[in-house]
């Protein structure tokens, strides 16, 4: 299981999902709800649209929207063997492991260290390029 906002898809996402898929048989991705994105600017693209693009990526077996009230609810329902974090994802592994333990969720937490190198390898950089190019209204 992997999670993310996936606002504007770029090769960094692709690498993350490819590496995540290698860690199991089935990759389910939880796409962040707009309401729950607080650690960075709100996404531009509506959540259902983000979910559909993620689900169209080769390595993804299924993409679902997260739970607006309890991020652990889909994890408890699906009981993944592995939870995969991206190299720059803000979750603290120890905190996550402890929260999983409290809920009797016996799953591994693995952080993917592979960092993609491409010109605009984040939604933020793509947005910045757009603002530079179009100078806004």
Cα-based torsion angle of the residue sequence 64, 70, 73, 75 in order, rounded to the nearest 10 degrees: 70
Query: Is position 63 an interface residue for a copy of itself (rule: CB under 8 A)?
Result: no
User: Is 13 annotated in some ligand binding site?
Assistant: yes
Angle CA 132–135–136, to nearest 5: 120
Query: Is position 82 an interface residue for a copy of itself (rule: CB under 8 A)?
Result: no
* Helix or strand (DSSP H, E) at 131: helix 123-134
DSSP per-residue letters across 5-52: --SS--HHHHHHHHHHHTTSS--EEEEPPGGG--SSPPPSS-HHHHHH
**Nearest to 127, CA basis, from 67, 43, 46, 34:** 43
User: Is 69 annotated in some ligand binding site?
Assistant: no
Least distance in angstroms from the C-beta of 32 to a copy of itself: 17
Q: For a copy of itself, which is the closer residue by CB, 52 or 103?
A: 52
User: Is 12 annotated in some ligand binding site?
Assistant: yes
User: Is 5 annotated in some ligand binding site?
Assistant: yes
Query: Is position 45 an interface residue for a copy of itself (rule: CB under 8 A)?
Result: yes
Task: Out of 22, 35, 39, 49, point to the residue binding a copy of itself (CB under 8 A).
Answer: 49
Q: For a copy of itself, which is the closer residue by CB, 38 or 133?
A: 133
Task: Out of 10, 28, 75, 86, point to the residue binding a copy of itself (CB under 8 A).
Answer: 10
Cα-based torsion angle of the residue sequence 79, 42, 95, 19 in order, rounded to the nearest 10 degrees: 60
Judged by the rule CB under 8 A, the positions of this chain that interact with a copy of itself are 8-11, 14, 17-18, 44-46, 48-49, 52-53, 56-59, 118-120, 126-127, 129-137
């Amino acid at each position: 299981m992997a999670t993310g906002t996936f606002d504007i898809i770029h090769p960094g996402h692709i690498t993350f999902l490819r590496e995540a898929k290698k860690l199991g048989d089935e990759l389910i991705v939880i796409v962040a709800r707009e309401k729950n994105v607080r650690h960075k600017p709100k996404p531009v693209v509506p959540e259902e649209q983000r979910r559909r693009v993620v689900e169209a990526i080769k390595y993804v077996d299924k993409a679902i929207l997260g739970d607006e009230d309890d991020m652990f609810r889909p994890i408890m329902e699906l009981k993944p063997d592995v939870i995969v974090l991206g190299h720059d994802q803000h979750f603290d592994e120890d905190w996550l492991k402890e929260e999983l333990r409290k809920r009797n969720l016996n799953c591994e937490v693995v952080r993917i260290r592979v960092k993609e190198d491409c010109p605009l390898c984040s939604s933020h950089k793509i947005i910045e390029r757009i603002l530079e190019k179009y100078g806004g209204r």
